[in-house]
């Protein structure tokens, strides 16, 4: 089986490396915009997931974040001690404990999103209309690549 010419080209390898580095740098820059400087990316991801998807069990959170249950338990303990989430017994199954955002946790998620959006809006405002159009056209392609 031969490699299709478009995949064998060194240009695609360079493009892949350049895209990886650019998206990594953009991601790091966006992650720097947060409401609580002492919070890790993993901790924020837990809060953000609870904000988007609602209450989860510890196992569900661990699966969503692709970490072990003991690791997620340490993260949840820290966030609970900080007042960002609470554990509540399930109303139907007493063996289950649901983890839910508190108002303080919700405020951290909302403020972090606001800061990240504001930074990105400022960065986009510095671009030319043609550059912004080009980025807008790339959004569906980037989503498609990310979903593979």
Structure tokens at 40: 């890790």
For 48-68, the pLDDT digits (tens) are 999 999 999 999 999 999 999
pLDDT in tens, 66-96: 999 999 999 999 999 999 999 999 888 888 8
Question: Would you say residue 16 lies in a domain?
Answer: no
Phi, psi for 39 (deg, rounded to 5): -85, 135
pLDDT tens string 97-146: 999 999 999 999 999 999 999 999 999 999 999 999 999 999 999 999 98
DSSP, collapsed to helix, strand or coil, labels residue 147 as coil
Any domain includes 79: yes
Fill in the DSSP letter of residue 3. Answer: P
| Total domain count, the chain | 1
CATH number at residue 96: 1.10.10.10
pTM given for the model: 0.80
**Which structural domain, as residue segments, surrounds residue 58?**
34-119
Q: What percent of the chain has pLDDT over 90?
A: 82
* Longest CA span, the chain: 59
Whether 22 is in a domain gets the answer: no
């Amino acid at each position: 089986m031969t490699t299709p010419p478009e995949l064998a080209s060194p240009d695609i390898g360079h493009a892949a490396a350049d895209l990886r580095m650019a998206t990594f740098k953009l991601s790091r820059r966006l992650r720097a915009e947060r409401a609580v400087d002492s919070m890790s990316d993993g901790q924020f991801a837990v809060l953000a997931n609870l904000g988007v998807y609602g209450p989860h069990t510890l196992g569900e959170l661990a699966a969503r974040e692709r970490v072990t249950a003991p690791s997620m338990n340490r993260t949840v303990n820290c966030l609970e001690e900080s007042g960002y989430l609470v554990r509540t017994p399930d109303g139907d199954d007493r063996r289950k404990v649901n983890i839910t955002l508190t108002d303080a946790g919700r405020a951290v998620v909302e403020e972090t999103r606001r800061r990240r959006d504001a930074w990105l809006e400022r960065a986009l405002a510095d671009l030319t209309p043609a550059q912004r159009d080009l980025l807008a056209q790339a959004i569906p392609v980037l989503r498609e690549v990310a979903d593979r």
